[in-house]
Amino acid sequence: MARSKKEKDLDLVESPVVTGSQGIVLTIFLTFLSVLFLVPIIVVFINSFKSKLYISDQPFKFPNADTFVGLRNYTDGAVKIGIFQSMGWSLFITVSSVIVIVFLTAMTAWVITRIKSKFTSILYFLFSFSMIVPFQMVMFTLTFIANRLHLDNPVGIIFIYLGFGSGLSVFMFSGFVKSVPIAMEEAAMIDGCTPIQTFFHIVFPMLKPTAITIAILNAMWIWNDYLLPYLVLGTERKTIPIAIQYLRGGYGSVDMGAMMAMLVLAIIPIIVFYLSCQKYIIKGVVAGAVKG
CB of 158 to another protein, least distance (A): 9
Site for another protein in 74-103 (CB under 8 A): none
| Crossing angle between the packed helical segments 256-276 and 72-81, to the nearest 10 degrees | 90
Q: By CB under 8 A, tell whether 114 contacts another protein.
A: yes
Residues numbered 15-54 forming contacts with another protein, rule: CB under 8 A? 16-18, 23, 26-27, 29-31, 33-34, 37-41, 43-44, 47
- 67 scored as a contact of another protein (CB under 8 A): no
Indicate whether 212 belongs to the interface with another protein (CB under 8 A). no
CB of 168 to another protein, least distance (A): 12
Give me the least distance between CB of 154 and another protein, in Å please: 16
Q: Are 86 and 235 in contact (CB under 8 A)?
A: no
Cβ neighbours, 10 Å, residue 105? 25
Nearer to another protein, 66 or 186 (CB): 186
DSSP output for 214-237: HHHHHHHHHHH--HHHHHHHTTSS
Size of residue set near another protein by CB under 8 A:
109
206 contacts another protein (rule: CB under 8 A):
no
- Rounded Cα gap, residues 114 and 16, in angstroms: 48
**Least distance CB 212 / another protein (angstroms):** 16
Interface with another protein in residues 147-166 (CB under 8 A): 149, 151, 159-166
Mask for 127-146, x = binds another protein (CB under 8 A): x--xxxxx-xxxxxxx-xx-
- Is 191 a binding residue for another protein by CB under 8 A? The answer is no
Out of 124, 204, 273, 280, the only residue in the binding site for another protein (CB under 8 A) is 273
Residue 276 is a binding residue for another protein (CB under 8 A):
no
What secondary structure letter does DSSP report for 251?
S
Which residue from 226, 235, 249, 276 is in contact with another protein, where contact means CB under 8 A?
Answer: 226
CA separation, residue 88 to residues 96, 186, 220, 269 (Å): 12, 44, 16, 12
Between vectors from CA 173 to CA 168 and to CA 175, what angle results, nearest 5°?
95
Residue 176 is a binding residue for another protein (CB under 8 A): no
Query: Alpha-carbon dihedral of residues 193, 199, 203, 207, nearest 10 degrees?
Result: -170
Integer Cα distance of 143 and 215 in angstroms = 25
For residue 232, the minimal CB distance to another protein (Å) is: 11
Examine residue 240 and tell whether it contacts another protein (CB under 8 A).
Answer: yes
Start-end of H helices in 149-203: 156-179, 183-190, 195-198
